[in-house]
Structure 1
Amino acid sequence: MKRRDVLGAFGATAVMTFAGSRARAEQLLPFYDLPAKYMNWAALGTAYEKRTGVKLTIDLKTGSSTALAAMKAEVARPQVNGAFWSLDIAIEGKKAGVTMPYKPKGFDAIPDSRKDRDGHWWAMSSANIVIGANTDVLRKHNLPLPKTWNDLLKPDYKGLCGMMEPTYSGTASTFAYGINFIQGGTKDDFTPGMKWLKAFADNGGQYRSETMGPRLVTGDVGILIDAEGNILLPKAEGAPVVVIAPPDGVVAVELGMSMMKGAPDQERARQFFDWLLGDEAQSIIGASYFRPVRKETLPKAVAAELGEPEKLIPLDLEHEAAVVTNLKRAFTEIVTRGGDLADVLRRYRLAA
């Protein structure tokens, strides 16, 4: 498979501006959270601009939670047409009243569990959340590849690990929710998961408010918790990185789109949403090592490299959306501010 033929060249990052000529503004289609280095939005943006002449706002308000906060602040006067985000945050967005329904072409083919029946949100892809390792960094420290999630808590890996901040990233908030079940927690008790997240920080693990994939490639972090595609795509391009899917369990993040309530350019937004579920966009997503919602568009060679984890733990998306705000608040109080774990979890009704 020739990757250049599938993905095309990376386009320049578009940044929303309200200055400039009217003609230029008319060619810009603003959305929040289209990160160039996540799910290869750079390639998606380049392909869409080549097809339509419309430029997407790549890297504007990246992070699902960041996008939701901005949309809440702007709901009376919408500045964008919608957002790309994890579906737990999308459900929050609907409840907050910042989205409006639209069912793009291909909506009926999306499984019911991966879309809002009225069209407020819908999946375009998913990704397993795994461990990525920079083999050059580990070789420098004379360390083996980690095998399990608990390996990352060992003193051997102190200060070498990182992931995105759960209060910023939908992928990270999904992991913060899912690690609880990997560690033996329940929907009524998030103690095991929060203990793991705190121990990760205590072992020097970094929580960063940025897309972290590039830091693994450069060796700024030696081990990264992230969506598998953010590791496998650089690997395919020659980076010294590998993916580990721990046998103790892996969770997946569901990724999709929503239109903002009162979106300023609804017609062009609808056209863009239609394109995202079409062959071209879904094939770019698949070639970027994310799992397109239309499975038939995933290249066979990519599917073989992605494989399936030994133990994929299913998540209750509605329950995740119901508790994710309190989970993020508890994370901040316990991990960032050193609050008492048991007391904070009880206060947020995340433990008895």
Structure 2
Amino acid sequence: MDRRTFLGAGAAALSMSMVRPSRSAETLIFYELPTKYMNWGALAAAYEKTAGVSPTLDLKAGSSTALAAMKIEAARPQTNGAFWSLDIAIEAKRSGVTMPYKPRGFDAIPVGRKDPDGHWWAISSANIVIGANTDVLGKRGLGVPQTWDDLLKPEYKGLCSIMEPTYSGTASTFLYGINFIVGGTKADFTPGMRWLKAFAANGGQFRAETMAPRLASGDVGVLIDAEGNTILSKVQGAPVVAVAPAQGVVAVELGMSMAKGAPDVERTQRFFDWLLGTEAQEIIGASFFRPVVTEAMPKTVADQLPRAERLVSLDLDHEALVVTDLKRAFTEIVTRDGDIDAVLERFKLRS
């Protein structure tokens, strides 16, 4: 795909994100397809045009919220499936709220990015980076932060935000991953929790909403988020940039699962098949997320993403094993100003 072809495809994808479902479209219920994250608005509009079916958008706020709802509704499932970070998907399988399906293209997904039984599989990924609104920072005479530790400096006090890790899969991945960026281990989450507590002490906010529009509008000066959300806002004209700190970045793996007892199995299977097909994967790529079908990402798109000098790999199974306790520890330590050592020892998150 050359640059002109990509720009045409990208413009089409962006314009589709503004299309509302037609009144005649059939509805297919899912948790949580956020309009402003990974350009689900464009994906939903494209699928409606292709199949006459409109996947629901914005029904639940975040991966963890979707899982909590599916647990409550287990006796009478209300959703056909969910889009979430794969650590939450693994937790969902363990909780018994998903059932297996292997969509067309499943066999081509790399090992480690899919459940062998088909309870979950990746459709994309995104590096978690620093996004900055240059207008907001410029008015304060500040440069764009280049490292995670820059966000702890007094000059950035009150300017930084991230989504709330107890609801957002991207934020929960960062909650887990920052520990390894700043020197922690699987046996000791002290370094990461110290960083998070210092971030909060410097006025860093944890917000229960999709935050990329807030960065684009200037309501937020600095945002920790998936790289694609910031770059897509930049392409749409917002004064924002994305930085991958040389200290290291982690990637959030994003994918799908079918709900156990899904009300509409056949239409859900067709939708899942489409998501791994060329049309959907190219829309994801044009939205500056990294499609699991790697050839669907044009070089012209990849070249606009911030280069990660150090990509810290994460153990998805271990992340899923500890993420619930890690979120509880985060709430006690960061939200309630608890003692780091005592809380981590109680949750067996330090040796």
- Name the CA distance, whole Å, in 2 between partners of 1:229 and 1:131: 11
1:299 CA displacement: 1.6
Which residue number in structure 2 is paired with residue 5 of structure 1? 12
Task: Report the counterpart of residue 337 of structure 2 in structure 1.
Answer: 338
Pairing of 1:1-352 with structure 2 (within 5 A): 1-2=7-8, 3-11=10-18, 27-306=26-305, 308-352=307-351
The one-character-per-residue Cα deviations of 1:148-188 (angstroms, maximum 9, x if unpaired) are: 00000000000000000000100000001000001100000
Distance in structure 2 (CA, Å) of the matches to 1:162 and 1:142: 19
Q: Secondary structure, in 3 states, of the residue corresponding to 1:124? A: strand
**Percent identity at matched positions?**
70
Whether the aligned pair in 2 keeps the contact of 1:13 and 1:36 (CA below 8 Å) is no
Give, in angstroms, the shift of residue 212 of structure 1.
0.4
Given that residues 81 and 264 in structure 1 are in contact (C-alpha distance below 8 angstroms), is that contact kept between their aligned partners in structure 2? yes
Task: Output the amino acid matched with 2:337.
Answer: G
Post-superposition offset of 1:192: 0.3
Does the CA contact (< 8 Å) of 2:161 and 2:207 recur in 1?
yes
Query: Could you say what secondary structure the match of 1:71 adopts?
Result: helix
Cα offset, 1:8, TM superposition:
3.6
Name structure 1 gaps, 5 residues minimum.
Answer: 15-22
C-alpha distance in structure 2 between counterparts of 1:275 and 1:308, whole Å: 30
With over 3 angstroms needed to count, the CA separation of the structure-2 counterparts of 1:207 and 1:107, relative to structure 1, is same
Q: TM-score, normalised by structure 2?
A: 0.96
How much does 1:10 deviate?
Answer: 2.1
User: Aligned to 1:323, what secondary structure does the other structure show?
Assistant: helix
Letter paired with 2:133 = N
1:20-55 CA-to-partner distances (Å, cap 9, x unmatched) read: xxx97x811000010000000000010001111111
Deviations 1:58-97 (A, max 9, x none): 1110200000000000011000101000000000000000
Please give the alpha-carbon distance, in whole angstroms, between the structure 2 residues aligned to 1:122 and 1:334.
Answer: 33
Deviation digits for residues 188-210 of structure 1, max 9, x if unmatched? 00000000011111100010010
Taking the aligned partners of 1:36 and 1:155, their CA distance within structure 2 comes to 34
State the SS of the aligned residue for 2:128: strand
Distance (Å, rounded) in 1 between the aligned partners of 2:306 and 2:145: 19
Partner of 1:17: none
Code of the residue aligned with 2:347 in structure 1: it is Y
- What's the CA shift for 1:5? 2.8
Pick closer, same or farther for the CA change 1:32–1:13 going to 2, 3 Å: farther
Work out the CA distance in 2 between the residues paired with 1:331 and 1:48: 38
Q: Look up the equivalent residue of 1:250 and give its one-letter code.
A: V
Q: What SS does the corresponding residue of 2:257 show, helix, strand or coil?
A: strand
1:33 and 1:83 in contact (8 A); partners too: yes
Q: Quick check: 2:158–2:203 contact (8 Å CA) kept in 1?
A: yes
Q: Give the AA of the match of 2:63.
A: S
Residue correspondences, number: 343
Aligned equivalents of 2:103, 2:163: Cα separation in 1: 30
Task: Give me the whole-angstrom Cα distance separating, in 1, the residues matched to 2:53 and 2:18.
Answer: 12
Contact kept, 8 Å, 2:184 with 2:190, in 1: the verdict is yes
Counterpart position of 2:4: none
Superposed displacement of residue 4, structure 1: 1.8
Residue type of the alignment partner of 2:17: F
Find the residue that maps to 2:304 and give its secondary structure. helix
2: distance between equivalents of 1:272 and 1:11? 20
CA distance in structure 2 between the partners assigned to 1:206 and 1:307 by the alignment: 24
Tell me the CA shift for residue 306 of structure 1: 1.6
- Residue 303 of structure 1 and its aligned partner are, at CA, apart by 1.1
Distance 1:344 1:307 in 2: 36
Cα distance, 1:56 vs. partner? 1.1
After superposition, give the CA deviation of every residue in 1:302-339 in whole Å (9 maximum; x if it has no partner): 01112530000000110000000000000001111111
- Report if aligned partners of 2:285, 2:297 keep a CA contact under 8 Å in 1: yes
| Structure 1 residue 13: Cα displacement | 6.1
Consecutive unaligned residues in structure 2, runs of 5 or more: 1-6
| C-alpha distance in 1 between matches for 2:331 and 2:123 | 30
Asked whether the equivalents of residues 64 and 89 of structure 1 are also in contact (C-alpha less than 8 Å), the reply is: yes
Deviation at 1:237, TM superposition (A): 1.2
